[in-house]
Amino acid sequence: MGLQLYNSLTRRQEEFEPLEEGRVGMYVCGPTVYGHAHLGHAKSYVSFDILVRYLRYLGYNVTYVQNITDVGHLTDDADEGEDKIAKEARKEKKHPMAVAEYYTRSYFEDMDMLNCVRPDISPRASGHITEQIELVKTLLEKGYAYEVNGSVYFDVLKFKDYGKLSGRNIDEMIAGTRVEVSPEKKNPVDFAIWKKAEPNHIMQWPSPWGMGYPGWHLECSVMSMKYLGMTIDIHGGGMENKFPHHECEIAQSEAANDAPFVKYWVHNNMVTVDGQKMGKSLNNFITLKQAFSGSHERLTRQYDPLAIRQLVLNSHYRSPLDFSDAALYAAQSGFDKITSAVIEVRKKIKSAPDGEVDKEAAKMLDVLKEKFEKAMNDDLNTSVALAVMFEFVRDTQKLLEDSKTTKQTLEAVDGLFSLLGGDVLGIVKDEYEQTGSVDNELMDKLVRILIEQRNEARKQKDYKRADEIRKKIDEAGVVLEDKPDGTSWRTK
């Protein structure tokens, strides 16, 4: 049994079968770059990162496209609001493209910290204006759109499948309309695909309908089509975007192409902070940079970016995740537990005796791998996959305690940690400071001098002095651990 994925379109878990054998085209709605990335982004993009990593683990050749929205995303009512980036630019007194560039870099920095693999293609909406204009033209030609006073709207009533993703009914939506409706629209549910720009609007481009800018939903249709084709395997995004964003994408794309837009829709759930929706007004809005540094009043300490990643993996991507200091703390402890086991294995490889890979250990690794894959195949059940990792850690500790464990066995253990914990889950690193990078040799030498002094004191039963040395080293951020085979150290 291969990977089973929950498809929001069919509301069922389905066997994943790509359109073309061995190849997967995946598009994920990227950020609108008008502010620093926050905990919500972490959950979303770590979740899709896991999907990409696991598909690659299974041997698929994945093309991962994630856009950067740098124009067209309006601040409020579907079509009357201001462009988010333009608004931020005015506030910061910068050019909108400077704002977009700044936060794009910030976004990539944060995602790198979370160990998310970079998308293969990160297209910018503003770099695809011509393609967007072409799509608007096509929709006008095919009668799915109409122009009014320099703006172009999609005529929702013409697209009979509208509502199939979000389970909405057009008539009910029209009846339930409560926001002020633009008088330009034929119908309240119609949405803008091209907006006329006022003369003072900085972000605007010439089009057959005059100066203007694209509607938000358009970019994803255009860029996914351009880089992945008319029909793609997977489209990912946050649940809150099912409607209207993804519904509109489907309408535009399928109306223009007469082909299905997406085979599998994958939606991840939302984040709350201390049980409440995260919002700037609630004082619980935490950016990733704040979480990494611990500089937020809701946080008692700083957290390792990978501990945040681990917290995301601790629950299912389709379940809501509540970030709290307690939850982060627990994730950090669990992350440390896995990390230190991996470090111990890598350290011990250097001194372990040569020999064959132990048969029982090899079998244990096979069983763990099988359990892990079974969990991941079940709609990416990372919670269970993590439980397998903890089982793996426990088994590993037993091997570490046994002095007969061979170098080759430990290498096999390390190999599986790197594969499952590293390649797939992204919580095990390739390198750790403690395992002997060049920079660290000096540090190691210095700490060893202190350890010698302390052990000298211990030998003479001068425990007061020994504890004093240990305390001072601890204050400097280094923890000493006395073990049967000597004293080792690690950074806090």
Task: State how far the Cα of 325 lies from the Cα of 300, in Å rounded to an integer.
Answer: 7
Contacting residue, 182, 314, 418, 440, with RNA by CB under 7 A: 314
Closest CA to 65 of 219, 197, 187: 219
DSSP state letters, 287-304: BHHHHHHT-STT-SS---
Look up residue 156 and give its DSSP letter.
G
Closest CA to 177 of 99, 262, 104, 78: 78
Nearer residue to RNA within complex by CB, 137 or 298? 298
- Tokens for 36? 């620093």
Using the contact rule CB under 7 A, the part of the chain among 26-34, 197-205, 251-259, 356-364 near RNA is: 26-34
Binding segment for RNA (CB under 7 A), chosen from 29-37, 293-301, 415-423, 436-444, is 29-37
Question: What type of residue is 160?
Answer: K
Residue 220: count of CB within 10 angstroms of its CB = 28
Q: How far is the CB of 35 from RNA (least distance, A)?
A: 8
Which range binds RNA by CB under 7 A, 198-206, 327-335, 402-410, 418-426?
327-335
Nearer to RNA, 11 or 23 (CB): 11
Structure tokens at 426: 């992204």
- How far is the C-alpha of 374 from the C-alpha of 54, rounded, in Å? 12
Which of 79, 76, 75, 77 shows the shortest CA–CA distance to 87? Answer: 75
Residue 12 within binding range of RNA, rule CB under 7 A: no
Is residue 235 a contact residue for RNA (CB under 7 A)? no
x/- track of binding to RNA for residues 416-455 (CB under 7 A): ----------------------------------------
Nearer of residues 141 and 462 to RNA, judged by Cβ:
462
Interaction with RNA in 463-482: which residues (CB under 7 A)? Answer: 463, 466-467, 470, 479-482
To RNA, the closest distance from the beta carbon of 245 in angstroms equals 5
Contact 221, 29 (CB under 8 A): no
Number of helical (H) and strand (E) elements in the chain, helices listed first: 15, 15
> Residues 195, 235, 242, 296: which binds RNA (CB under 7 A)?
242
In the complex, least distance from residue 183 CB atom to RNA, rounded to whole angstroms: 17
d(CA 422, CA 435): 16
How big is the site for RNA, counted in residues (CB under 7 A)?
86
Contact between 458 and RNA by CB under 7 A: the answer reads yes
Q: Report if residue 296 touches RNA, rule: CB under 7 A.
A: no
Q: Determine the Cα–Cα distance for residues 122 and 302; give it in Å rounded to an integer.
A: 30
Q: Is 241 in the site for RNA (CB under 7 A)?
A: yes
Q: Which of 102, 84, 67 is nearest to 220 (CA)?
A: 67
Q: Is 327 in the site for RNA (CB under 7 A)?
A: yes
Per CB under 7 A, does 316 bind RNA? yes
Cβ pair 103, 36 in contact under 8 A: yes
Judged by beta carbon, residue 137 or residue 337, the one nearer RNA is: 337
Q: Least separation, in Å, of the C-beta of 258 and RNA?
A: 26
Asked if 352 and 406 touch (Cβ cutoff 8 Å), the reply is yes
Decide: is 394 part of the binding site for RNA (CB under 7 A).
Answer: yes
Sites for RNA among residues 273-292 (CB under 7 A): 275-278
Scanning 78-86, 120-128, 152-160, 221-229 for contacts with RNA by CB under 7 A, the matching segment is 78-86
Site for RNA in 372-391 (CB under 7 A): 378, 381, 383-384, 386-387, 390-391
* Residue (263 or 454) nearer to RNA, CB: 454
**Is 460 one of the binding residues for RNA (CB under 7 A)?**
no
Output the smallest distance, CB 130 to RNA, in A.
22
Q: How far is CA 474 from the centre of its chain?
A: 34
Amino acid identity, position 407? K
Q: Does 102 bind RNA (CB under 7 A)?
A: no
Q: Does 124 bind RNA (CB under 7 A)?
A: no
Round to whole Å and give the CA distance between 73 and 69.
7
Nearer to RNA, 137 or 324 (CB): 324
Q: Minimal distance in Å, beta carbon 21 to RNA? A: 28
Residues in the chain, total: 492
Instruction: Tell me how far apart the alpha carbons of residues 105 and 157 are, in angstroms, rounded to a whole number.
Output: 40
Residues 54-73 that bind RNA (CB under 7 A): 69, 73
CB 406, CB 351: distance < 8 Å? no
Residue 307 or 412: the one with the smaller Cβ distance to RNA is 307
Beta strands per DSSP E along 91-220? 145-148, 151-154, 191-196, 212-214
* Under rule CB under 7 A, residue 177 binds RNA: yes
